Each structure stands twice: as C-alpha cells, then as structure tokens.
Amino acid sequence: LAKTTQPISMDSYEGQEVNITCSHNNIATNDYITWYQQFPSQGPRFIIQGYKTKVTNEVASLFIPADRKSSTLSLPRVSLSDTAVYYCLVGSSGAGSYQLTFGKGTKLSVIP
C-alpha cells in the first residue's frame, strides 16, 4: 500500500492561496490521487482527482509532478468556510481488488 504523509495543520488568512502537499513516495503505476474535504461531524466530500500534471476545477487545483511522489492541493483565495480537514487518498483498482490509503489529514484553519 502506498503510504501518504501530510502536514498535521496549517493556518492561513482569508483571501490567501493555500497549498497543501501530500507525499506518497511508493505510489503505484495504477494509482490515482484524490483529495477530500471534511467538516466536523460530516463525512468527507470529494474535491478533486488527478493522475499526473495539473487538474483544475471550480474549487481547487491539483499539481502532480512527473515522478508522482507527491501532490499539491491548491485552494485559491480561501474563506472562513474553507476551514476543514483535507485528506489525500492514493488508490487504484484492478480486477476487483482495491488498494486505498488515506493520509491522516491536514487541518486548515482560516483566520479572518
């Protein structure tokens, strides 16, 4: 299983761009990288997914270098409502067998 490592916590002021990096040194060829957001007392919610290079959607960007040993979630101009825990997930499927490893999460606190 790919092991993932994230910073435990980060602080940011409102309006700033926030970058959260996840390290996954032994990522497998078939693995995708997915990021989730979790608010207290709720289940995680999908943010973005990628395999390599850069992916962008309406809420975030995901940067994955060529060696794929890390990934960076970028949140543009954060607001107070972005205060949450962010998890990276490295996983793949093949012939019905799933390998899924969540990081321990990064608690983002957005300061007014």
Partner 1 sequence: NAGVTQTPKFQVLKTGQSMTLQCAQDMNHNSMYWYRQDPGMGLRLIYYSASEGTTDKGEVPNGYNVSRLNKREFSLRLESAAPSQTSVYFCASSGRGGGEDQYFGPGTRLLVL
Q: Cβ 79 to partner 1, closest distance in Å?
A: 23
Residue placing its CB nearer to partner 1 in the complex, 82 or 91: 91
Instruction: Summarize as ranges the residues that interact with partner 1 (CB under 8 A).
Output: 1, 30-34, 41-46, 49, 87, 89-94, 96-105
Q: Cβ 53 to partner 1, closest distance in Å?
A: 16
Q: Cβ 112 to partner 1, closest distance in Å?
A: 27
| Total Cβ atoms within 10 A of residue 40 | 7
Residue placing its CB nearer to partner 1 in the complex, 23 or 92: 92
DSSP character string of 8-58: SEEEEETT--EEEEEE-TT--TT-EEEEEEE-TTS--EEEEEESSEEEE-S
Query: What one-letter code names the amino acid at 105?
Result: G
Q: Answer whether 104's CB lies under 8 Å from 89's CB.
A: no
Q: Cβ 86 to partner 1, closest distance in Å?
A: 11
Residue placing its CB nearer to partner 1 in the complex, 8 or 112: 8
| Total Cβ atoms within 10 A of residue 31 | 21
